[in-house]
A and B are shown apart, each in its own frame.
Chain A
Amino acid sequence: AQSVTQLDSHVSVSEGTPVLLRCNYSSSYSPSLFWYVQHPNKGLQLLLKYTSAATLVKGINGFEAEFKKSETSFHLTKPSAHMSDAAEYFCVVSVPRISGTYKYIFGTGTRLKVLA
């Protein structure tokens, strides 16, 4: 069965310090993986995606994520947090189905708080 686990429901960092949001996945197939960000009362914005090319993926707003197959992880990082990064972050795995369609499976989210 395919699943996504976001290991931390809440993360707090000080402004200017590094951010690490952890995500582990379980998939029988070679997965496509995504990180989305959701600001309060807003929709979801794509931060970055991994689709079997380079294992280190760079996204918007200085975020990046590394796909580690041996660890089944896709952790999201940023060298220096900004106040505007405070939001909910979702790790998503896209898995193929027998019907030929694909299905997004969402993690439960990590709420990032940035302290001044």
Chain B
Amino acid sequence: NAGVMQNPRHLVRRRGQEARLRCSPMKGHSHVYWYRQLPEEGLKFMVYLQKENIIDESGMPKERFSAEFPKEGPSILRIQQVVRGDSAAYFCASSPTVQETQYFGPGTRLLVL
């Protein structure tokens, strides 16, 4: 059973461009979570999704950030018009139910020039 997959592992964007981060949960997991880790800090919750639904987006910035988890395909975290402050590692986690342990992917490291 493959673990949580994220791609790309590294992404470089110039200010104003769009960044798309993809996450494929573990097989059988229908709950996906996105976290952001700034340098020298812990992970901060961004958004929690189930298939086709956003359940909790209390950690998402109000502008430029969006997330989806379609019926088919990976979950996508989209950042429009990136700024230097968006540079961070973005981790995805999945779980089979909302009460179960979350399993993390390897992360996407976004660098905004």
A contacts, CB < 8 Å to B: 34, 36, 41-46, 49, 90, 97, 99-109
Contacts and interface: CB of A to CB of B under 8 A. Distances in A.
Interface residues of B, number: 24
Contacts, number: 51
Contact of A43 (B44, B45, B98, B104): B104
Interface stretch (B14-22, B67-75, B76-84, B105-113): B105-113
B99 A102 contact: yes
16 contacts: A41-B109, A42-B107, A43-B107, A44-B91, A44-B93, A45-B104, A90-B43, A101-B55, A101-B56, A102-B99, A103-B48, A104-B33, A104-B35, A104-B43, A104-B93, A106-B44
B101 A49 contact: yes
Interface of B: 4, 6, 33, 35, 41-45, 48, 55-56, 91, 93, 98-99, 101-107, 109
Given A100-B98, A103-B45, A107-B42, A43 B91 contact: yes
A60 to B, nearest CB: 13
Contacts of A42: 106-107
B56 A46 contact: no
Given A43-B106, A44-B91, A97-B56, A106 B101 contact: no
Contacts of A36: 104
Contacts of B99: 102
